[in-house]
Amino acid sequence: MFFHVKELQYKAKPTQPDPVYAKKLQEVLGGQYGEISVMMQYLFQGWNCRGEQKYRDMLLDIGTEEIGHVEMLATMIAQLLDKAPVEEQEQAAQDPVIKSIMGGMNPQHAIVNGLGASPNDSTGYPWTARYTISSGNLLADFRANLNAETQGRLQVVRLYEMTDDPGVRDMLSFLIARDTMHQNQWAAAIEELQEKEGFVVPSTFNKEYEKQEVSHQFLDFSKGTESKEGRWASGPSIDGQGEFSYIEEPKATGQAPILKPAPGYIHGTPKTN
């Protein structure tokens, strides 16, 4: 059960309208790494959680927090569209400077959304559930969550650099800080799970599943050997189950495939003599 509190989690009030920036802000609302994505990802991971209740509770805590972030961004976008200068658009033919500025506005904000936000990214591509991950394996999911928060924070910081509006920057500074916490949170949860389950997902020590001789080999499949200098090329493996080795010129060990002709009803390319 959810309750809605009228007050925002943090204030979202721009100093002045900016329809062009409203379009940019859509990315961290409805883009691949936007707030809608993490909101849905965390909530479904929580609802589907079959592990310890502390993980379910944590997922639903943060998923619900992200609902508030969606509301903050939608509110900010709507206010950036307040008093959208329609008159200036009408005068654009006479003023090339205004024409250039208004050319960056998302027309759907006015035509489709009535000067409001939409569940789309900054180019108008609709948000999709394919952006989300909920596998049922918490270690795999938490790693995806860490990536989502990393990419999301990167985008918010870039947007912070793209505006001088104190009100917008204030809200973004809050989101940046929360993304700092969330990255730390997922890293801590990953560390905790790895201590219990091991490094590799899924957590099985049944080595007969693996071709063990290649489990810790780094294969040099590109020109140059600079990659040999990395931590991944020598020394103990991160999972503690072997030693990294560097294979400078990996050899093909499989067959050269020759496929049988397809049956006639497939109407493939005829076999040549």
Q: What local confidence, expressed as pLDDT, does residue 209 receive?
A: 79
The pTM (predicted TM-score) of the whole model is 0.86
pLDDT at residue 93, as a whole number: 44
Instruction: Give pLDDT, residue 46.
Output: 96
Q: Is 222 annotated as a binding residue?
A: yes
CATH fold, domain 19-197, is: Ferritin (1.20.1260)
Which pLDDT does position 205 carry in this prediction?
A: 63
In this prediction, residue 212 carries a pLDDT of 87
Q: Give the whole-angstrom CA distance, residue 94 versus residue 96.
A: 6
* Cα–Cα distance for residue pair 103/93, rounded to 1 Å: 12
- The DSSP annotation for the chain comes to -----SS-SS----SS--HHHHHHHTHHHHSTTSHHHHHHHHHHHHHT--S-HHHHHHHHHHHHHHHHHHHHHHHHHHHHTTT--HHHHHHTTT-HHHHHHHTTS-HHHHHTTSS---SB-TTSPBP-GGG----S-HHHHHHHHHHHHHHHHHHHHHHHHT---HHHHHHHHHHHHHHHHHHHHHHHHHHHHHHHH-SSSS----GGGS-GGGTTEEE--SSSSGGGGSGGGSEE-TTSSSEEEEESSPPP-S----PPPPPGGG--PPPP-
CB 248 within 8 A of CB 225: yes
Q: Which two tokens stand for residue 19?
A: 């329809």
The predicted pLDDT at position 108 comes to 85
Q: Is 66 annotated to bind ligand?
A: yes
Longest dimension (CA), the chain: 77
- Predicted local confidence at residue 155, as pLDDT: 98
Give dist(CA 250, CA 227) in Å, integer: 14
Per-residue pLDDT tens listing for the chain (273 residues): 899 999 999 999 999 999 999 999 999 999 999 999 999 999 999 999 997 899 999 999 999 999 999 999 999 999 999 876 555 455 544 555 555 445 678 888 888 888 999 999 999 999 999 999 999 999 999 999 999 999 999 999 999 999 999 999 999 999 999 999 999 999 999 999 999 888 988 876 667 778 888 899 999 999 999 999 999 999 999 988 899 999 999 999 999 999 898 898 988 888 776
Full DSSP string of 93-109: TT-HHHHHHHTTS-HHH
CA 231 to chain centroid: 27
Q: Per the annotation, does 182 bind a ligand?
A: yes
- pLDDT tens-digit profile of 121-130? 999 999 999 9
> How far apart are alpha carbons 225 and 168 in whole angstroms?
47
Residues of the chain with CATH 1.20.1260.10: 19-197
Do the annotations mark residue 149 as ligand-binding? yes
Q: Is 224 annotated as a binding residue?
A: yes
